[in-house]
Amino acid sequence: MQKVTVNVSRQPYQVLIEAGLLRQAGNSLRKLFGDRRHCVVVTVSPLRRRWGRVLASSLKTAKFDFAFLEMPDGERHKRLATVERLAEQLVRLGTDRKTTIIAFGGGVVGDTVGLLASLYMRGVDVVQIPTTLLAQVDAAIGGKTGVDLKEGKNLVGTFHHPRVVLIDTDVLSTLPPREFRAGLYESLKCGVIGNAKLFEEIESGKPVMLRRNAKSLGNIVTQSVKLKAQIVSADEREDGLRRVLNFGHTIGHALETESGYRRFLHGEAVAWGMIAATRLAAATNRIDLFSARRIINAVHGIGPLPSVTASGKKILRLMRADKKTTDGVIHFVLPTKIGRVEITNDIPEELIVAAVDELRESPGK
Ligand SMILES: NC(=O)c1ccc[n+]([C@@H]2O[C@H](COP(=O)([O-])OP(=O)(O)OC[C@H]3O[C@@H](n4cnc5c(N)ncnc54)[C@H](O)[C@@H]3O)[C@@H](O)[C@H]2O)c1
Ligand SMILES: [Zn+2]
């Protein structure tokens, strides 16, 4: 088993990674929570059908007193209304401050249930058991919780770190290939920003192969988690350093917004964003052309992406309106070599427009 520590000030916690870990989940939690026996698992129905029994039987073996709650599946249910409904169900189940809430699902479940746990009775313990690759390498680590408003994504949220994160790479076997690839882009991002070996591992493997090779998959997940854990430990509340995790996200977010969150999965929009950011880095002589080409090829190597239809001008307008844009200045995370990035705010707008327009000419699905 791989163990990665997230060193946050109030209560550091571990991320445990192993194929088949779900079967041991009860044991791991027993060690952590001692005689606190009550827990509530919150999940979505497709996941409960596929993996619920494995988790339930491991909790039963470890003598937990537990219940399952379901929330509706999909980003459109990542809303305060869902939090409220779940909180009411918790009360009806007799949930008190000593109860542990387990978020069992992808990033949507993790974010919603994380928020729920931080609010319920002013805060109860949460355990993250992420089941998509994106949630395993990104969303479940770092303590950011949140829900969407009509006005935009993740606009209401808290910081509430989990007590532990349990990652079973076996559950990815049932993940649809497109969702798997979407997570792989975030891992590739980790490689570009801080781990050249991780980059090379993804660059040299085909997603199908990476997915079937348990050892390679375990390594990719572990290395990505390590990188995120390291960055989060150094910058708990996203004041500075953590911004490097936004590589590919400046343009990526704008592409998602422009298409009403329907055309791209988040990881796919980030993939395009990484391509554009890499071109900007090359155009401003920050990275050599060979490395830039390698990054772009590695992104395309993961698989087909839905094509970009939006114009550069429109995307620029949306970037200016993004909540992460402070005082109208657009920040970019740009690679300077594979494994290193820098943050800059001095990219001329005409270059940004050109980089996005160039995406429209790139091959897409
Ligand atoms: N908190 C953070 O730091 C952070 C970071 C990145 C993303 N996020 C959030 O994460 C969300 C996206 O998460 P996601 O990509 O995991 O999407 P998701 O949670 O919607 O999951 C995608 C789909 O896969 C299904 N699924 C999950 N696990 C499965 C499995 N093992 N087998 C088969 N199907 C499975 C789900 O039911 C769902 O239909 C977004 O809301 C985003 O804002 C949060
Ligand atoms: Zn992301």
Residues β-bridged to residue 326: 329
pLDDT value of position 137? 97
**pLDDT per residue as tens digits for the range 290-324:** 999 999 999 999 999 999 999 999 999 999 887 66
Q: How far is the CA of 354 from the centre of ligand 1 (A)?
A: 32
Residues 201-213, mean pLDDT to the nearest whole number: 87
Say whether pLDDT at 246 is over 90.
yes
pLDDT value of position 261? 87
**pLDDT per residue as tens digits for the range 64-86:** 999 999 999 999 999 999 999 99
Cβ atoms < 10 Å from Cβ of 66 = 20
Query: What does 135-192 look like in DSSP terms, one character per residue?
Result: IIIIITSS-B--EEETTEEEEE--B---SEEEE-GGGGGGS-HHHHHHHHHHHHHHHH
Query: Among 350, 187, 327, which Cα is nearest to 280's?
Result: 350
Q: How far is the CA of 303 from the centre of ligand 2 (A)?
A: 18
Does 139 contact ligand 1 (Cβ within 6 A)? yes
Cα distances (Å, whole numbers) of residue 338 to 199, 273, 290, 293, 344: 8, 16, 10, 11, 17
Residues 166-173, mean pLDDT to the nearest whole number: 96
Q: How far is the CA of 90 from the centre of ligand 2 (A)?
A: 30
Residues 21-40, mean pLDDT to the nearest whole number: 95
**Backbone φ, ψ for residue 336 (5° rounding):** -105, -25
**Backbone φ, ψ for residue 63 (5° rounding):** 60, 40
Give ∠ CA 196-197-198 in degrees, rounded to 5: 90
Does 75 contact ligand 1 (Cβ within 6 A)? yes
From CA 110, how far away is CA 41, in angstroms rounded? Answer: 11
The mean predicted confidence, pLDDT, of the chain is 94
Ligand 1 pocket test: pick from 6, 53, 54, 108 the residue with the most ligand atoms within 8 Å of its Cβ.
Answer: 108
Say whether pLDDT at 236 is over 80.
no
Classify strands 147-149 and 152-156 as parallel, antiparallel or unpaired.
antiparallel
Question: Quick one: which ligand is closest to 265's CA?
Answer: 1
Question: Quick one: which ligand is closest to 185's CA?
Answer: 2
Q: How far is the CA of 293 from the centre of ligand 2 (A)?
A: 22
Contacts of 13 by beta carbon, 8 Å cutoff, 6+ apart: 5, 6, 161, 162, 163, 164, 165
Catalytic: which of 78, 160, 211, 266?
Answer: 266
